[in-house]
Amino acid sequence: MKKQIVIFGTGEIAELASFYFEHDSNFEVAGFAVDEAFRTADRFRGRPLVPFERVAEEFPPTNFDFFVSVGYAKINALRVAKVEAARAMGYRLVSYLSSKATVFPGFELKDNCFILEDNTIQPFCRIGTNVTLWSGNHIGHHSIVEDDVFIASHVVISGGAQIGQGSFLGVNVTIRDRVKIGRNCVIGAGALVLEDQPDFSVIAPRGTERSSVPSNRLRRI
């Protein structure tokens, strides 16, 4: 029998989390919760939607587990706050690990992680609590991803690197081996990081510039 869970959130990430849990886990989604101020309906995805302030009354922690499905708003601080609040209510925080992710013996899945398809987590890695790994990342051997990190798609973290608590890594970021990223850093899409970064660093590579020549004047295409 599947264990029943409640998901916090009604955004796109919560909708995706519900889909993944329903189709690729041993959990069944019983309902959803959001803060009362943001609750605009009684149901979401065909299930009850209750105020977070009263979720323990509707879905007691003795019978239901919990998953906080929030993105990287305020550099992950909103997700952290809701995880702490759910724990304070007595809930056990569950995680989703895709059946299409690659992990090895010794890997420890901690609370409120969301690890999607095609992630490769090599041996001797440590992944903290409340970590999101979107699709298609490479987490190199002996690397450490600390608590509350959000990593977007197709990120390469080379062996022995360390990602500090609460940091965000955008799509296609590359971290060289043994580089240490500090706490609450924001590493923008496409960044190549070759040296250590202190806490609260922001790396924001410029996007590719648009050509002044319009496409209808290109000769060899």
> For the residues of 21-69, what is the DSSP string, one character each?
HHHSSSEEEEEEEE-GGG---SEETTEEEEEGGGHHHHS-TTT-EEEE-
Instruction: Give start-end residues of each CATH 3.40.50.20 domain in the chain.
Output: 3-88
List of residues 6+ apart from 59 with CB closer than 8 A: 6, 30, 31, 33, 50
The CATH code that applies to domain 95-202 is 2.160.10.10
Q: pTM to 2 decimals?
A: 0.95
Of 3.40.50.20, 3.30.565.10, 3.30.70.330, 3.40.50.300, the CATH number of 3-88 is 3.40.50.20
pLDDT tens over the chain, length 221 residues: 899 999 999 999 999 999 999 999 999 999 999 999 999 999 999 999 999 999 999 999 999 999 999 999 999 999 999 999 999 999 999 999 999 999 999 999 999 999 999 999 999 999 999 999 999 999 999 999 999 999 999 999 999 999 999 999 999 999 999 999 999 999 999 999 999 999 999 999 998 999 899 988 888 77
Instruction: Give start-end residues of each CATH 2.160.10.10 domain in the chain.
Output: 95-202
